[in-house]
Amino acid sequence: MAISPHRTQRLVKRIVLTGSLVAAGIAAAVYLGYRQLAPIAELAVSPKAGLEEMLVEGIHQSATREGRTEWSLDAATAQYRLPEKKVLLNDLSVTFFTRDEQKVYLTARHGTVMTDAHDMEAHGNVVIDNNLYRLETEKISYAHGPRMITSDVPVKIIGPAGELMADSFAMDLNANRLVMKGHVQGILAASKTP
């Protein structure tokens, strides 16, 4: 029994149409599935600056040297200023990793990271905590090369031994050492002995 050419054409058209719809459905499913699974932050380009500035929400960044992570940063928002090679941050938290596997935590309202050197500054309710003491100040600078956190504004340290205040401080993350300078004063608690 022979099939008419007209019927064959209709059958071929239906097969091509069905195949096209199935391919379009698969492509749409793959695209939507990829969009939901991809952990890429959405970029919003500032209308004033064009591609020279980008605003990103929910960022995570880290700096490594010789295979070791030296710090890890999270922030609510980041504004990348590409020509200036810096990132302006809001609501940031940084974890610094010392050579002896200790962690030092920093939080602040605002900050800046220099993208070429990994240096940073933080200001606005800056708190540094290492589970033994809590350091409070309004502004710090971090130099990535020597791994030093410094501040030239008043600082207060609260710990189990009491409170100390000074005009400035320097924290060496390599040596795990803190130096306070200028009008250092405090209240030390007497240790209780049985």
Q: Tens digit of pLDDT for each residue in 110-166?
A: 999 998 888 999 999 999 998 888 999 999 999 988 999 999 999 999 888 889 899
CATH topology of domain 44-188: lipopolysaccharide transport protein A fold (2.60.450)
Residue 193 pLDDT > 90, yes or no? no
Domain ranges of the chain: 1-38, 44-188
Residue 80 pLDDT > 90, yes or no? no
Residue 31 pLDDT > 60, yes or no? no
Backbone angles phi and psi of 174, in degrees to 5: -70, -45
When pLDDT is averaged across residues 106-111 and rounded to a whole number, the result is 95
Residue 111's pLDDT is what? 94
- For 185, counting Cβ atoms within 10 Å of its Cβ (0-12 exposed, 13-18 middle, 19+ buried), the class is exposed
Kindly report which listed range (4-13, 20-29, 31-40, 105-114) carries the lowest average pLDDT score. Answer: 31-40
Cα–Cα distance for residue pair 165/138, rounded to 1 Å: 13
Residue 42 pLDDT > 50, yes or no? no
Residue 2's pLDDT is what? 59
Q: Which amino acid is at 6?
A: H
